[in-house]
């Protein structure tokens, strides 16, 4: 039954099943848990597990390797070729077997995640009635589509390397590397400066596709999926993956034809049977050299790809940080003149957040010159979520009570900090410096104050 449906031996099917189960269990144990009061929480939690498995990639890339680069697969391919089948037909037959494994994976993991809300210990809301169909069908559809695309790309790795271990490891490294470079966890993506690049990783896009298929607006899924996207952006990303998968399939046919021609030579070497020893040894050395070149080239390509993506994400992050940073106040050169006993009060006029990212209010006060102030000073300072007029209506005791305080000595450099901005609130920067031993003493110090809003 297994050989007829999947075109692989029972041993390899068992190995693939074990790897898949272990991958799912590991990803389930580390997935970010999200609780919702409606059935959408089921989809989010299910897709978190599925996307993490795709990030790891082992079940999918291993399925490709089993179908093309094991000894059993080579023998089956050679039998088909010797029976008169051309390379394209042989490739498609093996691809059908890999797709069958992927479909089994997609259906099984979807059902497993779908059954999860029925477990007594699970606390998030379980869909009811037709709600099951509303969420299970998008999960199943998205999982199948992306699994098929990923395994098709994995087939190219399998026929290029002709080595199941190298091809599986290469695919997993690329998949995991992309997720790490652009962000893979929804919670991490929400605050990430590079979440605009999230769809470079298929494991992120699959979550968004599932969410969109439920009828949700892609621009409102930030806190559940981890990023926002329009249907057009998702369609373009999906189209790009389809193009890559198509090119992979076309290339795999040509490479498989070439790779399969090496197998009889390698078989004769391993059995010690030679038709023409000199000629065969030459062919064997040539084929061995070519396979080594392929593997080295693949490793180089992977390093180049991941390095390029990493460089791009770092550059993108710096651009976003610069464009999203808004200066609210900056002292003139030489610093502000702070007179002892006087309050320095500044309204932080916040601007709309850029790139839809959560903004923080950063403040920094550095002492440039101690001036003629005493050696020991007390700083009253804070960034308060009230308007300056409210603060100024407070008496001196109340003002000091709502502010932080710190006793310092000459040589202290200053302070800084950040506050998560709540968009419906006012923020006021306050600062007062007095002599610690005698608050009525006069004097002046010079401080450079910098207040800005920007993402973390």
Q: pLDDT tens digits, the chain, 456 residues: what are they?
A: 778 788 899 999 999 999 999 999 999 888 876 665 566 777 888 888 999 999 999 999 999 999 999 989 988 998 888 888 888 999 999 999 999 999 999 999 998 887 765 555 555 555 566 667 778 889 999 999 999 999 999 999 999 999 999 999 999 999 999 988 888 777 777 777 777 788 888 888 998 898 888 888 776 777 677 787 888 888 999 999 999 999 999 999 999 988 888 787 655 544 454 445 555 666 667 777 888 888 999 999 999 999 999 998 888 888 888 888 888 999 998 899 999 999 999 998 887 777 767 788 899 999 999 989 999 999 999 999 888 999 999 999 999 999 999 999 988 888 988 888 877 678 899 999 999 988 888 899 999 999 998 887
Strands 359-369 and 326-330: unpaired
For residues 352 and 324, what is the distance between their CA atoms, to the nearest angstrom?
A: 10
Residue with tokens 């305080």: 405
- The answer to whether 421 and 293 are in contact (CB under 8 A) is no
Q: What is the DSSP string of 16-67?
A: HHHHHHHHHHHHHHHSPP---SSTHHHHHHHHHHHHHHHHH-HHHHHHHHHH
Residue with tokens 């968004």: 208
- Give the start-to-end residue ranges of the domains of the chain: 2-323, 327-455
Helical residues (DSSP H) of 163-276, grouped into ranges: 164-182, 186-190, 202-213, 222-225, 231-260, 263-271
CB-based burial, 137-154: b 16+ in 10 Å, e otherwise: ebbbebbbbbbbbbbbbb
Nearest to 282 by CA among 257, 159, 259, 290: 290
For residues 203 and 235, what is the distance between their CA atoms, to the nearest angstrom?
A: 15
CATH of 327-455, one of 2.60.120, 3.30.60, 1.10.287, 1.10.3470: 2.60.120
């Amino acid at each position: 039954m297994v050989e007829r449906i999947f075109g692989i031996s029972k041993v390899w099917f068992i190995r693939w099943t074990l790897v898949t189960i272990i991958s799912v269990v590991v990803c389930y144990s580390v997935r970010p848990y999200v609780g919702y009061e409606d059935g959408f929480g089921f989809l989010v939690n299910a897709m978190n597990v599925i996307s993490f498995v795709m990030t790891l990639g082992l079940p999918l890339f291993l399925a490709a390797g089993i179908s093309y680069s094991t000894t059993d697969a080579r023998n089956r391919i050679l039998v088909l070729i010797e029976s008169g089948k051309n390379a394209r037909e042989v490739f498609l037959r093996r691809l059908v077997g890999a797709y069958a494994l992927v479909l089994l994976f997609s259906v099984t993991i979807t059902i497993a995640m779908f059954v999860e809300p029925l477990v007594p210990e699970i606390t998030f809301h379980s869909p009811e009635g037709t709600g099951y169909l509303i969420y299970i069908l998008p999960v199943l559809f998205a999982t199948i589509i992306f699994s098929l695309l990923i395994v098709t790309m994995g087939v190219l790795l399998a026929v290029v390397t002709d080595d199941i271990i190298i091809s599986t490891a290469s695919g997993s490294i690329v998949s995991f590397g992309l997720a790490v470079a652009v962000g893979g966890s929804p919670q991490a993506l929400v605050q990430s400066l590079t979440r605009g690049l999230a769809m470079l990783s298929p494991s992120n896009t699959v979550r968004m596709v599932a969410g969109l298929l439920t009828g949700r607006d892609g621009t409102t899924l930030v806190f559940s999926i981890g990023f926002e996207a329009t249907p057009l952006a998702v369609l373009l990303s999906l189209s790009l993956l389809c193009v890559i998968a198509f090119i992979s399939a076309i290339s795999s046919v040509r490479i498989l034809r070439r790779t399969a021609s090496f197998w009889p030579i390698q078989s004769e070497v391993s059995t010690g049977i030679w038709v023409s020893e000199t000629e065969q040894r030459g062919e064997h050395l040539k084929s061995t050299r070519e396979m080594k070149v392929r593997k080295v080239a693949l490793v180089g390509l992977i390093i180049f790809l991941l390095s390029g993506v990493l460089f791009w994400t770092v550059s993108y992050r710096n651009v976003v940080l610069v464009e999203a940073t808004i200066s609210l106040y900056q002292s003139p050169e030489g610093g502000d003149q702070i007179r002892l006993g006087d309050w320095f009060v500044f309204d932080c006029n916040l601007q709309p957040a850029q790139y839809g990212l959560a903004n923080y209010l950063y403040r920094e006060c550095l002492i440039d010159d101690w001036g003629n102030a005493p050696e020991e000073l007390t700083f009253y300072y804070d960034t308060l979520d009230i308007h300056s007029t409210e603060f100024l209506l407070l008496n001196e005791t109340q003002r000091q009570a709502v502010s932080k305080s710190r006793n310092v000595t000459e040589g202290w450099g200053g302070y800084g900090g950040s506050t998560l901005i709540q968009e419906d609130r006012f923020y006021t920067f306050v600062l007062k410096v007095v002599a610690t031993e005698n608050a009525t003493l006069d004097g002046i110090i010079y401080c450079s104050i910098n207040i800005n809003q920007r993402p973390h």
